[in-house]
Amino acid sequence: MNTIEPLQKPKRQFLNLDSLVEFAEQVYDLPISKISIYRAVKSKSLPSVKANGRLLFRITDVERWIEGTFEKKVGA
């Protein structure tokens, strides 16, 4: 007899601006200001999408951006 697995809620894939700030603080112990995030978006170093007038960031892009940006500063 086939068993049907219950549906699971998909993991969160996007962060809004406030969630990104919290994520950086909690996961990377890195305080990032909203201004720094806006600058990264403007310079296109941090990919984002706009939905309903809000900036959204893919978690994998955020992780790549944090690791790449702040690794360079530490290694410099």
pLDDT of residue 44: 96
Q: Dmax over Cα atoms in the chain, in whole Å?
A: 60
pLDDT of residue 25: 93
In a domain, 64, yes or no: yes
- Closest by alpha carbon to 12, among 2, 4, 3, 20? 20
CATH number at residue 71: 1.10.1660
How confident is the prediction along the chain (76 residues), in pLDDT tens digits per residue?
567 666 665 577 999 999 999 999 999 999 999 999 999 999 999 999 999 999 999 999 999 999 988 766 555 5
* Cα separations in angstroms, 31 against 37, 51, 62: 11, 25, 14
pLDDT of residue 75: 53
In a domain, 65, yes or no: yes
The answer for residues whose C-beta is within 8 angstroms of residue 69's C-beta and 6 or more apart is: 40, 45
What φ, ψ does residue 63 adopt, rounded to 5°? -60, -45
Domain that holds residue 40: 14-75
